[in-house]
Structure 1
Amino acid sequence: MNTIRRYAAEDAHVIFGAAYDETLGDQLRVTVIATGLNQRKVAPLTVVQPSAAQSLRTGTDNLPILTNAVGSAQGNGPATHDYGNLNTPSVWRNGRTQAAAKVEALQSNGMDEIEIPAFLRKQAD
């Protein structure tokens, strides 16, 4: 064991085991398994803590500030949007007609109903 410790690093984890083989008589068989020999030691990584000014950056530095509202015409007042159709749930607004069209297209191309994915059939219903 001392011979192994001479060649191993100071922080090496050495595991010792023993097995008896009665067929060897008075002889002794030693098996040593070693890994990581002749490898360069890797320097420990140093973690650099960013300063307070760097941690507050938002990713929009050095970009011009938006002066006009998106969608407004030259800033001539607030943009108006039609929110009337939002009273209907979005699942009913567009999902069923699109899914039904996909199912009909698949059926018209000769695909059996059982071959059409169940999630498409359920969306179309």
Structure 2
Amino acid sequence: MKSYRDLIVWNKSMSLVTLIYTILKKFPDEEKFGLVSQIKRSSVSVPSNIAEGYGRNYTKDYSRFLQIARGSLYEMQTQIEISKNLNFISEMDVKEIFDLTLEVEKMLNSLINKLKV
């Protein structure tokens, strides 16, 4: 593998960010600096931490960044759930997001487990 860009989990998480940004356009304007901002940051954090961890020279560092990415994924899932409870997002959009987050979560867990020493 030549680059973090070759990682399926990175590519899936990039697709997740694109999906999130598309869906957030439907949110109320008053949430621009609230949930929308939080969700954007947590979603962008997932592929960013995968990439940063990949660039580290130590397996332990890489594993730690993957764990941070997983934490950001959980944070985003929680924020999406809050958005659903506030009726800012449709059930169909929630399902699409959660299906993709589940894929990314499983891949992160698998990669983290493979890196355990």
When normalised by structure 1's length, the TM-score is 0.23
Name the structure with the higher helix share: 2
Q: Which has the higher contact order (CA 8 A, sep 6+)?
A: 2
